A and B are shown apart, each in its own frame.
With several copies, the nearest count.
Chain A
């Protein structure tokens, strides 16, 4: 049997397992392809500090779809084009710890591979680097047996854009509307990226424009070293073997973030206690034996180290998020929170939560200066049909990872789990056991991280690591407290309003009874009732007036 053992190309592997990359069905494949191209465009603009302006064009003729995505990014130098679009696991983002959309060097090439598989057509790329006179045009496919690009045609041409990239793919696809549509994906992308402008032309030829709500680029995240907390023993040994540092002290300071000289020395001192063999700050990393490495690993976990650096992650920010939400969702109450950064397995991450609650039937109660109340008019049905739940539906989740909307596999996602595990009943919402709460509400959760742990390469859901769950839940609770306050206030106002209307109904009846029993004149009756009304009004405006029914007294 031995002679038949053979190496397997990564492209072959994923070709056979293309559902792993999000190309399960024609409908999903179409959205995935758009998503990969838009992600790449946004990442490229971010790196180059350009305000992104993206055009997306989708056509669909009897299951043969064409996707064109064009950006105003920095462009790609010609000899990189083929490898970026024609080779899996090739990219700039995998080996560094820095927040970015793409990270595995897989997406756009996989989209190309899918097109190639279903339609037999290569990718068509045009790209112009800023300052170059001409643009490069190329047709690229993947040689899956060898996982390397096949260049079909290549030429230089004039292009009216000063810089940018345009990729066109043909594939078996199916355009659909609703919560899993290209349009919903783009709308959510616009919410999470207020600096982005998108022009979208759908298969019917309609053009939809998402404008930017800010001209400020998000801060650029810094690249970082791993944080020592949560690093596994095996990875530590590997790092010791691969480092260029020649002393243990240097290794600890250089290869980790948040480890200064003082911290490193404490770690080494502690490790020495656990270790049966010599260990000092000058030990050569490559000569550290397994038992010593174990001691070192233990020492790291029990030494106090600063929290992860936060400048490696750039959250959307509470103000921007609110602006984006208000722009796209019609709701009565918004609340947003950006949590402080945290870490899982040494990877910093940061969570942002927002709630948008649309009071059913609208109609908040307003109190005027004179103490009179009136109901506000009913709001029109919001246009954001797929983003906010109806009154009796489970809340809608808007999930984002590094500003990228996640549309599929909600059930398995850390975000859904955290929402389900949060006790919303405590905040006044209805929540069936083990389910999402029921409310006319959208919950937006954004997880930003230097390395988002997706549950699969198709990047549709976030693995529910305990640290991530915990942070999301804390953020949800924070927002939920605001919501509960809002709901209580609203309920209180409505009750107060109803009470006032209620009591006034009965005053004339009291008048009639008194008149009958005491044979009053109509004037006497009206005077008495007017007095009673005044008295009631006075007692009502006092806080803590008893709403309560009856007092009991013992009269011996």
Chain B
């Protein structure tokens, strides 16, 4: 697919989006005209309707739908759903966008159906997104942008964007940003890349990112480093996915050795979350691998005395993963790793490596790990 292909297909996708919204509204009007209570059918987003697709390697929505019929209890969200669809349609038409927060504020002009809390407007937005995703339409097609921008990027990467005024191409060389970094925008659909990197290193903490960037780790290691800042935002996930897909780069994750790091940060990046299964097909990165810190690293790198005991929450989270998480259950290596951690009873932060010196991570740990990517957890 070339850039001009993309341009064509983008306008087709816009047509598809508008048609979808009009079709739903027309159906509601038809119901009313026939003297029936109008209904909107929406995919069920609750966990019961989420399936882990082993082949694709991520969580997906199942086929269940809920029917939102206009009654006392639903009157408000029924009206809100329709008004938000109308908003989306207008934005597609004018090629504009609104962040989730902007949508919430825009609703303040919707009289009685204004949202009182942003969680409400987010939920309705999710419903509409889910409907669109079933038709293969990503959220950005609806012109709803996430509030958070993506993480920072540095390393052997040139991002190819365009000047929105002139259409002229713009290239950003992420190896020439000094101690600063490239800040991923809220929507990345239109980006292209050029790189000679051998892999992408996705890093949990901002502090570690700054350390690797200040010491230009990416230069010697031949990679792109991306700051996730805890659980990665949607923009970050989509960026990594696009970059990895287009440039055929492996993605290595460098996060804390604790159940939160495994099952929340890494697992979200790789297979998505059950709560937002309707967007996983666009966001998750099935090709990601877990570089560390692993429970075995604690042994191999002598970190034992820089660990902390597992909290009750940690233990619960780990046991829950072993019992219920289809991703973990599909991977014996993960089962073994989590069991190992439970039997050790401790967790380690990325910072634990600092016990051997603040830059031990650059000089020893990462080179040693990267010499054997086959050993990474799946």
Contacts and interface: CB of A to CB of B under 8 A. Distances in A.
Contacts of B79: 506-507, 509-510, 513
Contacts of B80: 509
B73 A548 contact: yes
A532 interface: yes
Contacts of A547: 71-73
Contact of A518 (B26, B38, B63): B26
Given A513-B86, A546-B71, A535 B66 contact: no
Interface string B86-105: 10011000000000000000
Contacts of B38: 532
Contact of A531 (B35, B69, B90, B112): B35
A508 B111 contact: yes
B83 A509 contact: yes
A553 B71 CA distance: 18
A539 interface: yes
B64 A555 contact: yes
A539 B37 contact: yes
A512 interface: yes
B249 to A, nearest CB: 38
Interface residues of A, number: 35
Given A512-B83, A546-B69, A549-B73, A535 B37 contact: yes
A555 B35 contact: no
B335 to A, nearest CB: 31
Contacts of B33: 528, 531
A512 B36 CA distance: 19
Given A528-B33, A555-B63, A516 B70 contact: no
B35 A516 contact: no
Contacts of A62: none
Interface residues of B, number: 40
Given A506-B112, A506-B113, A554 B64 contact: yes
Interface string A514-556: 1011100000000010011011101100000111111111111
A61 interface: no
A532 B73 contact: no
Given A510-B79, A514-B29, A528-B33, A549 B110 contact: no
Interface stretch (A84-92, A466-474, A497-505): A497-505
Contacts of B36: 535
A535 B63 contact: no
B71 A552 contact: no
B354 to A, nearest CB: 15
B112 A505 contact: yes
A552 B66 contact: yes
Contacts of B89: 516-517
A552 B25 contact: no
A555 B65 contact: yes
Contacts of B25: 513-514, 517-518
A546 to B, nearest CB: 6
Per DSSP, chain B at the interface is helix
B293 interface: no
A550 B64 CA distance: 13
B321 to A, nearest CB: 28
Given A532-B32, A554-B63, A516 B86 contact: yes
A517 B82 contact: yes
A513 B38 CA distance: 14
B285 to A, nearest CB: 29
A484 B22 CA distance: 50
A315 B112 CA distance: 58
Contact of A514 (B65, B68, B74, B82): B82
B78 interface: yes
Interface in A478-508: 499, 502-503, 505-508
B76 interface: yes
B66 A550 contact: yes
B29 A516 contact: no
A506 B78 contact: yes
A509 B72 contact: no
Contact of B74 (A505, A508, A549): A549
A518 B71 contact: no
A552 B44 contact: yes
Contacts of A551: 66-67, 69
- Interface core residue of A507, A508, A513 (most chain B CB under 10 Å): A513
Nearest to B89: A517
Contacts of A556: 63
B352 interface: no
Given A516-B86, A516-B89, A516-B90, A502 B75 contact: yes
A43 B358 CA distance: 88
B21 interface: yes
A540 B79 CA distance: 19
B68 A536 contact: no
A-B pairs with lowest CB-CB distance, top 8: A513-B82, A516-B86, A517-B25, A509-B79, A506-B79, A506-B75, A505-B112, A499-B72
Interface of B: 21-22, 25-26, 28-29, 32-33, 35-38, 44, 63-76, 78-80, 82-83, 85-86, 89-90, 110-113
27 contacts: A499-B72, A502-B75, A503-B71, A503-B72, A509-B79, A509-B80, A509-B83, A510-B28, A513-B79, A513-B82, A516-B89, A517-B25, A517-B85, A517-B86, A528-B29, A531-B32, A532-B32, A539-B37, A546-B69, A548-B73, A549-B74, A550-B69, A552-B65, A552-B67, A553-B64, A555-B63, A555-B64
Given A512-B83, A536-B70, A548-B73, 13 more contacts: A502-B72, A502-B75, A506-B75, A509-B110, A510-B28, A517-B82, A518-B26, A546-B69, A549-B71, A552-B64, A553-B64, A553-B65, A554-B63
